[in-house]
């Protein structure tokens, strides 16, 4: 993610910019068919979870839940496209 995309992500998610960034966990609700993004402040924890499947993340680890997934493609006009 580029610095501009990070700032735009923080603005769109209504989160403060932090030096270490955020970990993003992309989820899918099979019951409702909805996509969501769980934002966590612990980037190392998010990396660890990225190597796992079927893990339930404790609520206290989640900084914010966002409905949908942001577009993280560097060539995208907006992370919220």
pLDDT by residue (tens digit) across 9-66? Answer: 898 889 999 999 999 888 888 888 888 889 999 999 988 888 887 788 888 999 998 8
CA atoms of 79 and 81, how far apart (whole Å): 6
pLDDT reported for residue 56: 82
Q: How far is CA 39 from CA 13, 17, 75, 78, in A?
A: 9, 13, 22, 18
pLDDT over 60 at 7, yes or no: yes
> What backbone torsions phi and psi does residue 32 show, to the nearest 5 degrees?
-95, -10
> What is the spatial order of strands in the sheet that 34-40 belongs to?
23-29, 34-40, 62-67
pLDDT over 60 at 5, yes or no: yes
Global model pTM greater than 0.85:
no
> What backbone torsions phi and psi does residue 63 show, to the nearest 5 degrees?
-80, -40
pLDDT reported for residue 11: 87
């Amino acid at each position: 993610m580029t610095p501009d995309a990070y700032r735009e992500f923080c603005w769109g998610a209504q989160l403060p910019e932090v030096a270490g960034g955020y970990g993003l966990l992309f989820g899918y609700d099979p019951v409702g068919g909805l996509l969501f993004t769980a934002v966590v402040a612990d980037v190392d924890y998010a990396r660890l979870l990225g190597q796992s499947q079927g893990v339930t993340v404790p609520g206290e680890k989640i900084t914010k839940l966002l409905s949908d997934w942001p577009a993280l493609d560097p060539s995208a006009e907006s992370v919220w496209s």
